[in-house]
Amino acid sequence: MQTDILELVKAKKEQLVSRRRDIHKHAEAAWTEFRTASIVAETLTRLGYQVSVGAEVIEAEVMMGVPSEQELLNHQERAIAQGADPQWVAKMQGGKTGVMGVLHFAQPGPVVAFRFDMDANDVLEATADEHRPWREGFASVNPGAMHACGHDGHTSIGLTLAEVLVEAKQQLAGTVKLIFQPAEEGVRGAKAMVSRGIVDDVDFFVGLHLGIGLKKMGTMTCNTVGFLATTKLDAVYTGVPAHAGAAPETGSNALLAAATAALNLHAISRHSQGASRINVGVLQAGTGRNVIPDKAVLKLETRGTTSEINEYMYKRALTILEAAAAMYEVKLAVAPMGGAANCENTPALVTRLQQVAAESNLFDSILPEGNIGGSEDCTYFMERVQQKGGQVAYLMVGTKLAAGHHDSRFDFEEESLVTATALLSKAAVELLSTK
């Protein structure tokens, strides 16, 4: 069966591209992927997978950075107007747009999971002829949402992998789980799926990303490194407004509390055991020059090369946020808006998949490692699988990029969809083989 995989996937190229372009055209940001998720659920059901959605795969209490109830309702209505099945959308109330398809094969064997992210970025897509999606008519029709990171490609790859595994099922053993995750941008979605226990029985877990550090077709790695643990926070200060000239002493200045916090957050001592980061990216406060500001919002993040270093930065940040509130006698509310763990691949699985890649003849260069250079909440899945005794690997497949990730002119070479799908299909056959 291994030798037939590439031809099988090549025959599906038109469908791979068509799916990717349809998802790109109807881009949906974090927790609003109602149309995308309903297409995924419908396709997996048609193929014979046992499909779980909504609260079955998303723990509501762990969701971070969820839009307002009204925003979610607006996006649901838009999704249905753009072709989403209302019955599937109804099961995703509250933004629970995760989907998992499970397929059991006849012979006993391992549980193998593949994860694909579905969400778009909060980006206004370029409208210029040199931008291929615009030129060829598949640019986003949803203002302010754009697939500027390749998740449209990932979702298309996952659905085509689902088809390949059904066609190869007589040669396979064990169980496959295909996990379609919402809200990767802002690292908000994985933890809520992990908390439902959906990977607690997984023996082998594989994640994948197009591009990132590999910007050349024909390159790949099964050993992605450089995952930074991170915590995203919103800190809201609430004080007492007052006339700045007539009665300033009766007010409590939320702006000064936030400014004091911002300066001191950047003064946190760095950690000796690895890289540590903190950044205040947004400070919003005040209504007028003659009013003591009673509201202020800080949006910040911490990072670390290990989860322990990130936790150190996070705890120190909380101390400073609270101290600033006490100094200016204002109230403080801190809301988690996203997070990711640090994680490393399992060497044994990396070696096994590198061998699959080498034997596939799909690549000119198989790199010993590649640096992701940031945070990815797939690490929550990876961390949990390893904690339960399983093995994990995060792959990167190279592709030529029209512009960098999260750029309004982002686009990738669609031939990489074939390459990545063939690679994952071969990996699945290797890990689920009856041999």
Residue pLDDT, tens place only, 116-127: 999 999 999 999
Q: What range does the domain containing 297 cover?
A: 229-340
What is the rounded average pLDDT for all residues in the chain?
95
Average pLDDT value for residue range 235-264: 96
Any known ligand binding at 185? yes
Cβ partners under 8 Å of residue 389, min gap 6:
none
Chain segment 5-18, per-residue pLDDT in tens = 888 999 999 999 99
* Same-domain status, 334 and 395: no
Residue 197, helix vs strand vs coil: coil
Residue closest to 92 by CA, chosen among 63, 56, 62: 56
Residue 3 has pLDDT above 60, yes or no: no
**Residue 435, pLDDT score:** 60
406 annotated as a binding-site residue: yes
252 shares its domain with 123:
no
- Flag whether 26 is marked binding: no
One domain for residues 278 and 420 = no
Pair 157, 181 in one domain: yes
Residue 149 labeled ligand binder: yes
Q: What is the pLDDT of residue 1?
A: 46
Task: Note whether 116 and 265 are same-domain residues.
Answer: no
- Report the pLDDT value the prediction gives residue 338, as an integer from 0 to 100: 93
User: Which uninterrupted H or E stretch holds 264?
Assistant: helix 254-265
Domain count, the chain: 2
The CATH number of whichever domain residue 258 belongs to comes to: 3.30.70.360
Considering only CA atoms, which of 403, 381, 401, 385 is closest in space to residue 117?
Answer: 381
Contact 50, 101 (CB under 8 A): yes
End position of a domain, from candidates 282, 306, 340: 340
- pLDDT per residue over 60-71, tens digit each? 999 999 999 999
Last residue of a domain, one of 294, 323, 340: 340
- Asked if residue 131 belongs to a known ligand binding site, the reply is no
Question: Are the C-beta atoms of 230 and 338 separated by less than 8 Å?
Answer: yes
Shared domain check, 40 and 165: yes
Say if residue 62 is in the same domain as residue 208. yes
Of 340, 375, 394, the last residue of a domain is 340
3-state SS class at 309 = helix
Residue linked to tokens 């995308």: 36
pTM score, two decimals?
0.92
Q: Is residue 301 within 8 Å of residue 278, measured between CB atoms? A: yes
Which CATH number is 412's domain given?
A: 3.40.630.10
DSSP 289: T
